[in-house]
Structure 1
């Protein structure tokens, strides 16, 4: 049985110290699948939860951590029509990216533009496809819309702000918890047009000021309970809100349904990892229309990806500590060596 190296977890779950590089079975591509030799993979908070045993995996997902990666096509299975051996690709999967090789359906892969490095390409799938889904597919953002993005300095938040600008939003208000984060979001190319500290300010009042009391057309929320009432207040007539997480809690007491009715609001919950292969293939295919607009932080594209720090996979424990400490203001990437 051919083997490969991968980041494994001693006892199947546990603290950071349980992460180690060991041998495991090398995947074989099935019908419609591509085997990719991984050059780099991205870290996400779901990885920390999965490592600790607190993240339910979708059926059939690999128990190896990691949902995004970049690398070269090493082998193709029967029925593959989109890729050839040697193609440089990046992709989004349900798991298995903390490894030397991964086999996944061809529909989950995209060809890597030449202007992106392995590190830059690996930083894109989870954050940018999630933001695209929330903002474009569900939020139906269009030219002239006003947009409110919570957790603006998060990976998905940074992606959503820039994508909204590309789609012609009139204003993008971002929320964050510190002045440094807010200043940075206002300073980056195609960044936020307005920013509010949600701890010290009233973002609902602020967006009404910036929209001449109209409210925002789209809200991207990660927070849930503590932001609910102000989110509803912030939304304009026919406004759309996509909920990506409920970090402050999922139960909202004494909800007033009236504004949802008379403002004709659309409220959409959104997940991605657990969606069907068909759904993810369609979404990734749609997302590829903006891939060429994405460059590294030093590039000139209208959408840029920001890297906080790059670790080698022998430093995987240090990489997890960095994310656990919430030190990153961009993506944490790990290279496979």
Structure 2
């Protein structure tokens, strides 16, 4: 016997969970997602990744601008769902929606709660230098990621991981975790545990103003800052090219031995000194350009010491 579910999600991160629930035989009565937005050069309406998959699977799609109307809970309850699964939906669920499914609403969150509640847990875990993170299934309440936790999976964060790498790994892990949690819910075996009141941190939304690289920080902190913002919004610095200060995003790097004034190029392979140690730039992107490997970038734009990045 399977459960009848409402799925609520929007970006790529949510797609593996939707597909895993379908693969495990659960009936998806409806998908709620954010409405299509104009994107690209032609500003054509672009469906969310979740809506694309839902349409392919023949699942009814709803894109309400808000869930705070009097009609929204009525329409929600009309789906006659046992439970709702929420993954990066992008909209606050009012209490009337949370109370609508008979078994509740269950959220997949990309951190080890109560650490990194909030909007940007993947980026913040990398930027803070955390050695591990994970995904958790939580029964939602009215608070910000404060609900009781059901299941968790952990993953190590290596210095080579960018936010994109960790995002993809957690999305895959999370789909499997949620499918197991909903299976346990179906059998009446899902156990919930209150979150600890200790170790609470908040993952504030990334502000573009914090994306500029500070070479006056230690090399490891610079590396984690770069990788935590890769590929979006992208940590950036300015490089003097042909007499102009050109903004360049650094997308991937490695920590290496080296010493010099912060921001100084130490060789012709894009090794840059930090306040302590150095990093070697492996991948970067000029404004309006495509991401490039460092060796390809240097072919067209040779950079040599004692040049300084700022």
- Name the TM-score, length of structure 1 as normaliser: 0.29
- Name the TM-score, length of structure 2 as normaliser: 0.31
Bigger relative CO (Cα 8 Å, ≥ 6 apart): 1
Structure ranking higher in helix proportion: 1
